[in-house]
Amino acid sequence: MLDIQDFRGNRTVRLLPRCAEMFKELRSGGVVLESAFCGQHCPSNYVVNADLELPFVKLPLDKFAENVRCLLVDHNGSLPLASFPLCYAHRFEPLLDHDDGIPLEHFISCIKDVQIIMCDGAIKKVQFMNTIGTLNGVDTTVCSENNDVQQRLQQFSREVLDLLKQQSPHCRLPVSKFVSSYHQYFSRQCRVADYGYTKIIDLLMAISKTIQILGNGNKRIITLSHRSQVKRFTNDLVRMLKNKPQRSIHISDIPREY
């Protein structure tokens, strides 16, 4: 598809003629290709980071959620994730990067009526939630018609959950290290074909109710989904309260007890 050439000490990349013709046919046929960035707030020569490196933020969720909804309304219901920080800064204030903050992509997924989907061309977009059982372009309601495979997939989901809980301090694991970490923790290989898939990334995306895949490219990271984190915190809190004589605790004491 691409042709890389050296010209006077510089390397240039161009589309092969047959691919250029293909894109011309798509445009002439009225096919609209998804843009990787927002045309309203980004210059035409804007370069999207291939690894989708976004800031780690520290903001009140309720205020952030309100701002995101306003931003989506301004963008007709959806906008590319890669240029989200620019659009947000244009409408509100810059999203500062904090070492101890929450990954922006994960923080967006915590908003109940907003979702992040994978469009054609591996472009992630933020949009209002208007579909059921779909995340990153994969149907998560049905993984296989085979009950045996379905049961194995549910077991795999629980195993990944246990594995991520061991990743200190934020339950995050690079996708590139998943296979080796799985092997080390469970003392067996992760056989993707046993679950009806051919690629590890497709298998991981099939359990999106349990985990979330942050970023793109070689720096993708697996973490617990917001749903899994809330469930985990709830279980921990109930266990904590059961150990208290009055079955109660001051909210200010939770961080210390936790």
Q: Which of 135, 117, 133, 114 is nearest to 125 (CA)?
A: 117
Domain span holding position 3 = 1-33
Q: According to the model, what pLDDT value does residue 139 have? A: 43
Task: Determine the average pLDDT of the residues in 174-198.
Answer: 93
Q: What pTM, to 2 d.p., does this model score?
A: 0.74
More confident: 130 or 88: 88
Q: Which long-range contacts (CB under 8 A, 24 or more apart) does 224-227 make?
A: 224/161, 224/164, 224/165, 224/171, 225/109, 226/106, 226/109, 226/110
Residues 106 and 150 in one domain: no
Same domain assignment for residues 189 and 213: yes
pLDDT in tens, 215-240: 988 889 999 999 999 998 898 889 88
Give the best-scoring range by mean pLDDT among 31-40, 64-73, 188-197: 64-73
pLDDT given for residue 71 in this prediction: 95
| Pair 149, 100: CB distance under 8 Å | no
CA distances from 148 to 58, 137, 160, 196, 237 (A): 43, 24, 18, 10, 34
Q: How confident is the model at residue 143 (pLDDT cuts 50, 70, 90)?
A: very low
Q: Are residues 217 and 150 in the same domain?
A: yes
Any domain includes 256:
no
Strand partners, 134: 139
**Same domain assignment for residues 205 and 167:** yes
CATH code of the domain in which 212 resides = 3.30.420.610
Whether residues 123 and 162 share a domain: the answer is: no
- Name the percent of the chain lying above pLDDT 70: 79
- Pairwise CA distance, residues 244 & 248, whole Å: 6
Would you say residue 141 has pLDDT above 50? no
pLDDT of residue 39: 81
- Residue 162 banded pLDDT, cuts 50, 70, 90: very high
Residues paired with 135 in a beta bridge:
138
Residue 61 sits in the same domain as residue 102: yes
| pLDDT exceeds cutoff 50 at 133 | no
Does residue 43 form part of some domain? Answer: no
User: In the predicted model, what is the mean pLDDT of residues 190-207?
Assistant: 92
Residue with tokens 């500062």: 96
112's CB contacts (< 8 A; 6+ apart) are 65, 129
Structural domain count, the chain:
3
- For residue 88, is it within any domain? yes
Same-domain pairing of 15 and 68: no
- pLDDT in the model for residue 13: 58
Q: How much is the pLDDT for 77?
A: 92
Confidence of residue 142 (pLDDT cuts 50, 70, 90): very low
The C-alpha angle with vertex 253 and arms to 248 and 256, in degrees rounded to 5, equals 125
- Share the mean pLDDT of the chain: 83
pLDDT of 26 above 70? no
Query: Confidence band (pLDDT; 50, 70, 90) for 119?
Result: confident
- Give the integer Cα–Cα distance in Å for 104 and 247: 35
Q: How confident is the model at residue 7 (pLDDT cuts 50, 70, 90)?
A: low
> Does residue 29 form part of some domain?
yes
Whether 229 is in a domain gets the answer no
Same domain, 158 and 193: yes
Higher pLDDT, 12 or 128: 128
